Amino acid sequence: MSSLKSPRLGVNIDHVATLRQQRDEGYPNIQRAAKSVMEAGAEQITIHLREDRRHIQDLDVGLVKEITDEYNRPLNLEIGSNLDIVKYAIEMKPQWICLVPEKREEKTTEGGLDLGVKGFEKLRNVMSELRSGIDGVKISLFVESSEEVMNKSIELNADAVEIHTGSFAIDYLRNKDISKHLESYKKSYELLKGSDVHFHAGHGLTDKSVIPLLELKLFEEYNIGHWIISESIFSSLGGVTQELLRSFSDYKFEY
Protein backbone atom coordinates (compact mmCIF):
# COMPACT_ATOMS: atom_id res chain seq x y z
CA MET A 1 0.00 0.00 0.00
CA SER A 2 1.31 3.45 -0.90
CA SER A 3 2.08 5.82 1.97
CA LEU A 4 2.06 8.87 -0.28
CA LYS A 5 -0.09 11.66 1.12
CA SER A 6 -1.21 15.04 -0.20
CA PRO A 7 -0.23 18.01 1.92
CA ARG A 8 -2.88 19.22 4.37
CA LEU A 9 -4.92 22.35 3.73
CA GLY A 10 -5.91 24.64 6.56
CA VAL A 11 -8.44 27.23 5.49
CA ASN A 12 -8.18 30.61 7.16
CA ILE A 13 -11.69 32.08 7.50
CA ASP A 14 -10.72 35.40 9.12
CA HIS A 15 -12.08 37.37 6.20
CA VAL A 16 -15.57 35.95 6.55
CA ALA A 17 -15.49 37.74 9.90
CA THR A 18 -13.96 40.85 8.26
CA LEU A 19 -17.05 41.07 6.07
CA ARG A 20 -19.39 40.45 8.98
CA GLN A 21 -17.72 43.15 11.09
CA GLN A 22 -18.46 45.72 8.35
CA ARG A 23 -22.14 45.58 9.37
CA ASP A 24 -22.20 43.50 12.52
CA GLU A 25 -25.57 41.94 11.67
CA GLY A 26 -24.40 38.36 12.23
CA TYR A 27 -23.84 37.44 8.59
CA PRO A 28 -21.90 36.00 6.88
CA ASN A 29 -22.19 33.45 9.66
CA ILE A 30 -18.81 32.12 10.82
CA GLN A 31 -20.11 28.64 11.72
CA ARG A 32 -21.70 28.28 8.30
CA ALA A 33 -18.35 29.19 6.73
CA ALA A 34 -16.52 26.72 8.97
CA LYS A 35 -18.97 23.97 8.07
CA SER A 36 -18.63 24.61 4.30
CA VAL A 37 -14.88 24.35 4.56
CA MET A 38 -15.06 21.14 6.61
CA GLU A 39 -17.64 19.62 4.23
CA ALA A 40 -15.31 20.43 1.34
CA GLY A 41 -12.59 18.36 3.00
CA ALA A 42 -10.17 20.91 4.50
CA GLU A 43 -8.02 19.30 7.16
CA GLN A 44 -8.23 22.19 9.58
CA ILE A 45 -9.54 25.69 10.12
CA THR A 46 -7.22 28.53 10.94
CA ILE A 47 -8.34 31.75 12.60
CA HIS A 48 -6.38 34.67 14.01
CA LEU A 49 -7.64 36.33 17.17
CA ARG A 50 -5.94 39.69 16.80
CA GLU A 51 -5.45 42.12 19.64
CA ASP A 52 -7.54 44.74 17.83
CA ARG A 53 -10.33 42.18 17.10
CA ARG A 54 -10.62 43.51 13.56
CA HIS A 55 -12.15 40.26 12.30
CA ILE A 56 -12.34 37.21 14.57
CA GLN A 57 -14.00 38.01 17.92
CA ASP A 58 -13.52 36.12 21.19
CA LEU A 59 -16.83 34.29 20.83
CA ASP A 60 -15.95 33.13 17.30
CA VAL A 61 -13.16 30.94 18.66
CA GLY A 62 -15.61 28.70 20.54
CA LEU A 63 -18.10 28.77 17.66
CA VAL A 64 -15.52 27.63 15.13
CA LYS A 65 -14.16 25.03 17.54
CA GLU A 66 -17.64 23.52 17.90
CA ILE A 67 -17.54 22.86 14.15
CA THR A 68 -13.98 21.53 13.95
CA ASP A 69 -14.73 19.26 16.93
CA GLU A 70 -17.86 17.99 15.18
CA TYR A 71 -15.65 16.94 12.25
CA ASN A 72 -12.89 15.73 14.54
CA ARG A 73 -10.32 17.98 12.90
CA PRO A 74 -7.97 20.51 14.49
CA LEU A 75 -8.58 24.18 15.08
CA ASN A 76 -5.40 26.15 14.46
CA LEU A 77 -5.58 29.37 16.47
CA GLU A 78 -3.14 32.11 15.54
CA ILE A 79 -2.24 34.49 18.33
CA GLY A 80 0.39 37.07 19.24
CA SER A 81 2.09 37.07 22.63
CA ASN A 82 -0.43 39.35 24.34
CA LEU A 83 -1.02 37.89 27.82
CA ASP A 84 -4.81 38.23 27.83
CA ILE A 85 -5.04 36.50 24.48
CA VAL A 86 -2.69 33.75 25.61
CA LYS A 87 -4.96 33.23 28.65
CA TYR A 88 -8.04 33.14 26.46
CA ALA A 89 -6.37 30.67 24.07
CA ILE A 90 -5.68 28.42 27.06
CA GLU A 91 -9.37 28.53 27.98
CA MET A 92 -10.39 27.65 24.42
CA LYS A 93 -7.97 24.71 24.13
CA PRO A 94 -7.39 24.57 20.37
CA GLN A 95 -5.38 21.58 19.15
CA TRP A 96 -2.83 23.85 17.41
CA ILE A 97 -1.60 27.31 18.26
CA CYS A 98 0.38 29.28 15.73
CA LEU A 99 2.37 32.06 17.37
CA VAL A 100 2.63 35.11 15.14
CA PRO A 101 4.09 38.60 15.43
CA GLU A 102 1.44 41.28 15.61
CA LYS A 103 1.50 45.00 14.94
CA ARG A 104 -1.66 47.04 15.24
CA GLU A 105 -0.97 49.23 12.22
CA GLU A 106 -0.30 46.38 9.77
CA LYS A 107 -2.89 45.28 7.18
CA THR A 108 -1.95 41.67 7.69
CA THR A 109 0.86 39.77 9.44
CA GLU A 110 3.81 41.31 7.70
CA GLY A 111 6.75 39.17 8.67
CA GLY A 112 7.96 36.29 10.78
CA LEU A 113 8.52 36.18 14.54
CA ASP A 114 11.51 37.94 16.01
CA LEU A 115 13.77 35.22 17.42
CA GLY A 116 16.46 37.58 18.68
CA VAL A 117 17.48 37.31 22.35
CA LYS A 118 14.43 39.10 23.79
CA GLY A 119 11.98 37.61 21.30
CA PHE A 120 13.37 34.12 21.93
CA GLU A 121 12.92 34.39 25.71
CA LYS A 122 9.43 35.79 25.36
CA LEU A 123 8.45 32.96 23.04
CA ARG A 124 9.96 30.36 25.33
CA ASN A 125 7.81 31.70 28.19
CA VAL A 126 4.61 31.88 26.13
CA MET A 127 5.20 28.36 24.79
CA SER A 128 5.74 26.97 28.25
CA GLU A 129 2.57 28.68 29.50
CA LEU A 130 0.59 27.25 26.60
CA ARG A 131 2.00 23.77 27.06
CA SER A 132 1.19 23.73 30.77
CA GLY A 133 -2.30 25.17 30.11
CA ILE A 134 -3.39 22.95 27.22
CA ASP A 135 -2.75 19.24 27.42
CA GLY A 136 -0.99 18.00 24.26
CA VAL A 137 -1.21 21.32 22.41
CA LYS A 138 0.92 21.59 19.27
CA ILE A 139 2.68 24.88 18.67
CA SER A 140 3.86 26.27 15.37
CA LEU A 141 5.94 29.39 14.91
CA PHE A 142 5.23 31.76 12.04
CA VAL A 143 8.71 32.60 10.83
CA GLU A 144 10.84 33.71 7.91
CA SER A 145 12.93 31.07 6.22
CA SER A 146 16.55 31.31 7.44
CA GLU A 147 19.19 29.09 8.95
CA GLU A 148 19.29 30.98 12.23
CA VAL A 149 15.52 30.91 12.63
CA MET A 150 15.32 27.17 11.88
CA ASN A 151 17.99 26.44 14.49
CA LYS A 152 16.22 28.56 17.08
CA SER A 153 12.89 26.90 16.32
CA ILE A 154 14.52 23.52 16.98
CA GLU A 155 15.95 24.90 20.23
CA LEU A 156 12.47 26.05 21.24
CA ASN A 157 11.06 22.56 20.61
CA ALA A 158 8.39 23.91 18.31
CA ASP A 159 6.12 21.27 16.81
CA ALA A 160 6.27 23.08 13.48
CA VAL A 161 7.42 26.20 11.76
CA GLU A 162 5.00 27.89 9.42
CA ILE A 163 7.14 29.64 6.84
CA HIS A 164 5.82 33.12 5.99
CA THR A 165 5.42 32.88 2.23
CA GLY A 166 4.30 36.51 1.83
CA SER A 167 7.35 37.85 -0.01
CA PHE A 168 7.48 34.77 -2.26
CA ALA A 169 3.78 35.23 -3.10
CA ILE A 170 4.26 38.91 -3.96
CA ASP A 171 7.26 38.17 -6.17
CA TYR A 172 5.21 35.46 -7.89
CA LEU A 173 2.28 37.82 -8.52
CA ARG A 174 4.66 40.43 -9.95
CA ASN A 175 6.35 37.89 -12.23
CA LYS A 176 9.67 38.32 -10.44
CA ASP A 177 12.30 35.65 -9.95
CA ILE A 178 11.12 33.27 -7.23
CA SER A 179 14.13 30.96 -7.24
CA LYS A 180 15.78 32.59 -4.22
CA HIS A 181 12.69 31.85 -2.13
CA LEU A 182 12.52 28.25 -3.31
CA GLU A 183 16.22 27.74 -2.57
CA SER A 184 15.79 29.17 0.89
CA TYR A 185 12.80 26.88 1.60
CA LYS A 186 14.85 23.87 0.51
CA LYS A 187 17.69 24.88 2.84
CA SER A 188 15.34 25.42 5.76
CA TYR A 189 13.72 22.07 5.17
CA GLU A 190 17.13 20.36 5.16
CA LEU A 191 18.02 22.04 8.45
CA LEU A 192 14.88 20.73 10.10
CA LYS A 193 15.29 17.21 8.75
CA GLY A 194 15.99 14.83 11.59
CA SER A 195 14.43 17.19 14.14
CA ASP A 196 10.83 16.95 15.38
CA VAL A 197 9.90 20.29 13.82
CA HIS A 198 7.42 19.95 10.97
CA PHE A 199 7.40 22.23 7.94
CA HIS A 200 4.27 24.30 7.13
CA ALA A 201 3.66 27.30 4.88
CA GLY A 202 1.22 30.15 4.63
CA HIS A 203 0.42 33.71 3.69
CA GLY A 204 -0.55 35.37 0.46
CA LEU A 205 -0.84 32.12 -1.50
CA THR A 206 -3.19 31.63 -4.43
CA ASP A 207 -4.13 28.59 -6.52
CA LYS A 208 -1.28 29.52 -8.88
CA SER A 209 1.47 30.65 -6.53
CA VAL A 210 1.05 27.53 -4.42
CA ILE A 211 1.99 25.29 -7.38
CA PRO A 212 5.79 25.87 -7.31
CA LEU A 213 5.65 25.17 -3.57
CA LEU A 214 3.63 21.97 -4.06
CA GLU A 215 6.21 20.93 -6.63
CA LEU A 216 8.93 21.15 -3.99
CA LYS A 217 7.08 18.49 -1.96
CA LEU A 218 8.50 19.86 1.27
CA PHE A 219 5.61 21.53 3.07
CA GLU A 220 3.23 19.18 4.89
CA GLU A 221 0.63 21.85 5.49
CA TYR A 222 -0.57 25.07 3.87
CA ASN A 223 -2.77 27.69 5.51
CA ILE A 224 -4.57 29.78 2.92
CA GLY A 225 -7.29 32.35 3.50
CA HIS A 226 -7.55 35.63 1.63
CA TRP A 227 -7.43 34.12 -1.84
CA ILE A 228 -9.96 31.36 -1.03
CA ILE A 229 -12.44 33.85 0.40
CA SER A 230 -11.86 36.24 -2.53
CA GLU A 231 -12.28 33.54 -5.15
CA SER A 232 -15.39 32.11 -3.55
CA ILE A 233 -17.16 35.41 -4.33
CA PHE A 234 -16.80 34.64 -8.03
CA SER A 235 -17.80 31.00 -7.80
CA SER A 236 -21.26 32.11 -6.67
CA LEU A 237 -21.87 35.83 -7.26
CA GLY A 238 -23.83 35.15 -10.46
CA GLY A 239 -25.81 32.29 -8.89
CA VAL A 240 -26.81 34.32 -5.85
CA THR A 241 -27.91 37.22 -8.09
CA GLN A 242 -30.01 34.79 -10.19
CA GLU A 243 -31.68 33.37 -7.09
CA LEU A 244 -32.65 36.81 -5.88
CA LEU A 245 -33.95 37.73 -9.32
CA ARG A 246 -36.08 34.56 -9.30
CA SER A 247 -37.77 35.68 -6.13
CA PHE A 248 -38.24 39.21 -7.59
CA SER A 249 -40.06 37.65 -10.55
CA ASP A 250 -42.79 36.38 -8.19
CA TYR A 251 -43.79 39.99 -7.45
CA LYS A 252 -44.67 41.58 -10.79
CA PHE A 253 -46.69 44.78 -10.91
CA GLU A 254 -47.37 47.61 -13.33
CA TYR A 255 -44.98 50.59 -13.17
Contact footprint for ligand PXP (CB under 6 A): 12, 14, 48, 78, 98, 100, 108-109, 142, 162, 202-205, 223-227
CB of 225 to ligand PXP, least distance (A): 3
CB of 2 to ligand PXP, least distance (A): 29
Which of the residues 15, 55, 181, 203 is marked catalytic? 203
Which of the residues 48, 55, 164, 181 is marked catalytic? 48
Compare residues 1 and 10 and give the one whose CB is closer to ligand PXP: 10
Q: Report which residue type is found at 88.
A: Y
Compare residues 234 and 243 and give the one whose CB is closer to ligand PXP: 234
Q: Please tell me the distance from the alpha carbon of residue 115 to that of residue 119, in angstroms, as a whole number.
A: 5
Compare residues 14 and 144 and give the one whose CB is closer to ligand PXP: 14
Which of the residues 78, 102, 144, 221 is marked catalytic? 78
- Let me know if 203 is a catalytic residue: yes
Half-sphere exposure of 183 (CA within 13 A, CB side): 4
Query: H-type helices in the chain, by residue range?
Result: 14-23, 30-39, 58-70, 83-92, 117-133, 147-155, 166-173, 179-192, 210-216, 226-248
Compare residues 67 and 205 and give the one whose CB is closer to ligand PXP: 205
The 3-class secondary structure across 37-67, one letter per residue, is HHHCCCCEEEEECCCCCCCCCHHHHHHHHHH
Contacts of residue 227, Cβ cutoff 8 Å, sequence gap at least 6: 204, 205, 206, 207
CB of 115 to ligand PXP, least distance (A): 15
- Let me know if 48 is a catalytic residue: yes
Residue 47's beta-bridge partner residues? 77
Catalytic residues: 48, 78, 203
